Structure 1
Amino acid sequence: MFPFIGRSVIGIRAFLTSLALRPRGMWDCNLAPPTLQRTSAAMAVLLLRFLSPFSRLPGGPRPAADVPLRAWIHGASLLYPDHIPTSPLQKALLAAGSAGMALYDPYRHDMVAVLGETTGYYTLKVLRDQMRRDPEGAQILQERPRISLATLDMAKLRSLPEGSFGCEYLRFLEVNRVSPETRAPTRFVDDEELAYVIQRYREVHDMLHTLLGMPTNILGEIVVKWFEAVQTGLPMCVLGALFGPVRLRARSLQVLVSELIPWAVQSGRRAPSVLNLYFERRWEQPLVALREELGITAPPLHVRGLA
C-alpha cells in the first residue's frame, strides 16, 4: 500500500513542479489571462508543499541521477522525448480531470491536449492507418514535419502574394495574436507513431482555422471543433463540439445551430482527411483554389463579433 502511495505522490509532484515552474511564455494557451496563469502556478506550489511529507513514505528505491523521474515512476522506458508512461487507471483519472477543466475553461489548451491524448488511442490508430494508405499522408508520417517558429520560413510567408494560403495563414496568426509555439508536446500517448499523429493534428489546427475562415473566439473554436469531430472522430473533438455551445449567448447559439454547424459538418464530410495534406507545400496555392480542391466552401457569415 505505502509503496503505491509513495510512487503516486512522486508522480503528482513531478507534474505539479512542471506547472509551478512553467514560465509565462510556455503556457499552452496564449489566450489565458495572466491572472489565471499566476493562480494555477500558485495553487501548484501550495499542493507541492502539502504533498511534501507524503513523498517520504516508503516507495522503493530512488531513481538514479541519470534516469528520468517520469520513467522511473512506472518502471517504463520513454518512447519519445516528452513521453510520460501512464497506466490505464492513471489515464482515466487524467481524462476525467482534464475533461472537467476543459469544459469549465475552453481556452485551457493544455487540458484539452491531455484529454485528447488519454481518450484518443484507438481513434488515432484509425487516423494513422488512413495516413499510411494515402501517398501524401504516408510521406508526412515518414518525414515527420513539424510546425513551429523554428521550422516556418516567416520571411517567405510575408513575401507571398495576397490571397495565397501562406499569406492568409500568416494573417490569421497576426490578427488573432496566436503562435505555432503554443501547441503542447505530446506526453501521454504510449506509441511513438501515434504520438506524432496527434502532434500533427495539434499543429495544423491553426491552418484549419485559416481554411475555414474562423477566428479564435469561442464561436470560431466551436465551429472548427465540429469540422474536426467529423474529420477525425477524436473524443476530445466530439466533446468540444457538443458541450462548447453551452457558453454561447442566445443569438450566437441560434446562428451556430442554424447555419454554422450544418456548414462545418458538410465541409468535414466532403473534404478528404486534412491530416493527409502537406500544408507546408501549399503556401503558394491560392486559398480559394485549396478550398475548392478540398470541397470546402467559404463560411456562410462573418463570426468575429458574434461570440
Structure 2
Amino acid sequence: MWSGPWVPPRFAAGRVDVPLRGVRHGAAGLLYPGHIPTSPLQKALLAAGSAGMALYNPYRHDMVAVLGETTGLRALKVLRDQMRKDPEGAEILQKRPRISLSTLDLDKLRSLPEGSLGQEYLCFLDVNRVSPDTRAPTRFVDDEELAYVIQRYREIHDMLHTLLGMPTNILGEIVVKWFEAVQTGLPMCILGALFGPIRLSAQSLQVLVSELIPWAIQNGRRAPCVLNLYYERRWEQPLRALREELGITDPPTVHVRGLA
C-alpha cells in the first residue's frame, strides 16, 4: 500500500519553494534568493572542482548541480528559447511551477487510476526511496530565467526516470543521462553519459553499449523537448499514452534493476 514518498530527514524540513522571479535581493544585486554571483574565473574553478568530485562520486548531487550551473550557459539559452517558442513551454516559463512535496497534492495523486502518470510517479518515488525535495536550489546562474530553466530540469528528472522506466541505480542513471544529453546538450549530462560507465561491471557495460545507449539516443532524438511539458496538468494522463505522444518506446527487455 502506498504511504507517501520517502523523505530523507535532512531534506524534509525548512524547504521554501521560490518562484525564481527577476527581483534583485539586497545590496549585492542578487537576481533571486540563494543567488551567488561569480566571475568567469570563479565559475571555471568551480566547474573544475565539481567535475572532479562528480566523476569520483556520481551520487554527489550537489557537485553535479554546481557543474551544471557553471558549464551550461549556452545549452540553457537554447533550452529557454525552445520553451519560449512552444505554447506549453512558454506558459511554464511565465508561471514558474515547482515540483516538491509542498506543491504536490499527494492525496489527489494517490487517488488517480493505476497506470496514470501521477500514480506511476508516486510509485517511482516510493520504490526507489527518493524525494523531489532532494534537488539542490540554483545558485550560480547569473540570469533568473535561466536559473529557473535549470531548476525545472532538475525537478523533472524523476519524471524522466518514470517516463523511461529506469530505476535509480548506476545503470539506470546513466541511461537517463544519455537521454538528457541528447535532449538538453548540457555538458554535465554529456560528461555523466560518457564517464558514468567507468564504474559498471563488464556485464552491465555490454548491455549498456549494445542495447540501452542506442535506445536512449533514439528516444532522446525523437521526443520533443521534455521541458515543454506541463506535467502538473497531466497527472491523470495514462503513462503509456504520454509515452506514445512523445514517441518514447519501451526499453529493451533487460533487467536493468538487477544490473550494476
Instruction: Say yes or no: TM over 0.5.
Output: yes
Deviation string 1:85-131 (CA, Å, 9 cap, x unpaired) is 00000000000000000000000000000000000011101100000
After TM superposition, the score normalised by the length of structure 2 is: 0.90
Alignment size in residue pairs:
240
Mapping 1:212-251, distance limit 5 Å: 212-251=164-203
- Indicate yes or no: 2:78 matched with 1:126: yes
* Runs of 4+ that moved beyond 6 A: none
Among 265, 279, 290, the residue aligned to 2:231: 279
- Indicate yes or no: 2:251 matched with 1:305: no
Greater RCO (CA < 8 Å, at least 6 residues apart): 2
The residue aligned with 1:25 is 10
What is the Cα deviation at residue 26 of structure 1?
3.5
Distance 1:214 1:127 in 2: 24
Distance 2:75 2:165 in 1: 26
AA of the residue aligned to 2:10: G
Deviation string 1:164-196 (CA, Å, 9 cap, x unpaired) is 111000000000000000000000000000000
The residue aligned with 1:289 is 241
What is the Cα deviation at residue 24 of structure 1?
6.2
Among 118, 122, 125, the residue aligned to 1:166: 118
3-state SS, counterpart of residue 257 of structure 2: coil
Distance 1:300 1:244 in 2: 20
The residue aligned with 2:30 is 78
Mapping 1:48-67, distance limit 5 Å: none
After TM superposition, the score normalised by the length of structure 1 is: 0.76
Among 219, 242, 260, the residue aligned to 2:212: 260
Structure exhibiting the larger radius of gyration computed from Cα positions = 1
Distance 1:170 1:296 in 2: 20
Among 23, 47, 66, the residue aligned to 1:114: 66
What is the Cα deviation at residue 241 of structure 1?
0.2
3-state SS, counterpart of residue 304 of structure 1: helix
Distance 1:230 1:256 in 2: 16
**Unmatched runs of 5 consecutive residues or more in structure 2:** 1-7, 13-24
- Indicate yes or no: 2:83 matched with 1:98: no
Higher percent of residues as helix: 1
RMSD: 1.4
AA of the residue aligned to 1:233: G
Distance 1:230 1:122 in 2: 15
* Alpha-carbon distance change, 295 to 179 in structure 1, aligned in 2, over 3 angstroms: same
Identical pairs, percent: 85
- Indicate yes or no: 2:182 matched with 1:197: no
